[in-house]
Chain A
């Protein structure tokens, strides 16, 4: 199960693209990378998941390079409502365990 490292906080302005990078140097062959978003006083919410290359959905894009030792969550044209904590999570699909380590997350603040 990969331990992940993220920046503690980031600031951005409305309308800008935000990229949050997560380091997972010990990622195993079967590990997927998943990102969650958490607003104050709410439970985390699934954003996106990927294994390699690029994944895109209606909310974000996820870029995973060939060596898979890092991943980047990209939020296009952020708004004030994107202010939240973003967690990168590594999880193996075949390890037989479903222990999750969320880490401390990245606190994104979007400014007007």
Chain B
């Protein structure tokens, strides 16, 4: 089944404790992206990647890191989480350059709470 998977789905952590949220897709998509969703603010893009070893900042990259060493994986790293990073996080992937290049496939989400 074609899908985007994220792990963990739920995470409660404390301020300053480094964490990684994994994202993996099995559709051979070149484009991958991370979003955070907060009440009243909609979806905001954190980072995106056009292909392996190619990443760029979205609208809200502060406090986050990403890497793209393999095509299928795009982990989101919080080196020193803070309470304002408590949010619902979504990973997405798509095939840019195709007719439906903007059809992003989203993962199920990771609900992160930073105490």
The CA-CA distance from A100 to B15 in the complex, in Å, is 29
A side interface size, CB within 8 A: 23
**How many positions in chain B have a CB within 8 Å of any CB in the partner chain?**
28
Stretch at the interface among A15-23, A66-74, A75-83, A85-93: A85-93
7 sample A-B contacts, Cβ–Cβ < 8 Å, listed by A number: A42-B109, A46-B105, A97-B56, A98-B96, A99-B59, A100-B104, A103-B42
Q: How far is the CA of A44 from the CA of B59 in the complex (A)?
A: 18
- B91-111 interface bits toward A, Cβ cutoff 8 Å, 1 = contact, 0 = none: 010001000111111111100
Does the CB pair A91–B59 fall under 8 Å?
no
Q: Does B19 contact A (CB under 8 A)?
A: no
The minimal Cβ–Cβ distance linking A90 to chain B, given in whole angstroms, is 10
Residues of the A chain whose Cβ atoms lie less than 8 Å from the Cβ of B90: 43-44
Q: Chain B contacts of A34 at CB under 8 A? A: 102-103
Residues of A bordering B, CB below 8 Å: 32, 34, 36, 41-46, 49, 87, 89, 91, 93, 97-105
Which of B33-41, B63-71, B74-82 lies at the interface with chain A? B33-41
How distant is B105 from chain A, measured CB to nearest CB, in Å? 8
Contact partner, A99, options B58, B106, B108, Cβ 8 Å:
B58
**CB-based nearest A residue for B101:** A93
Residues of B within 8 A of A98 (CB): 31, 33, 48, 50, 96
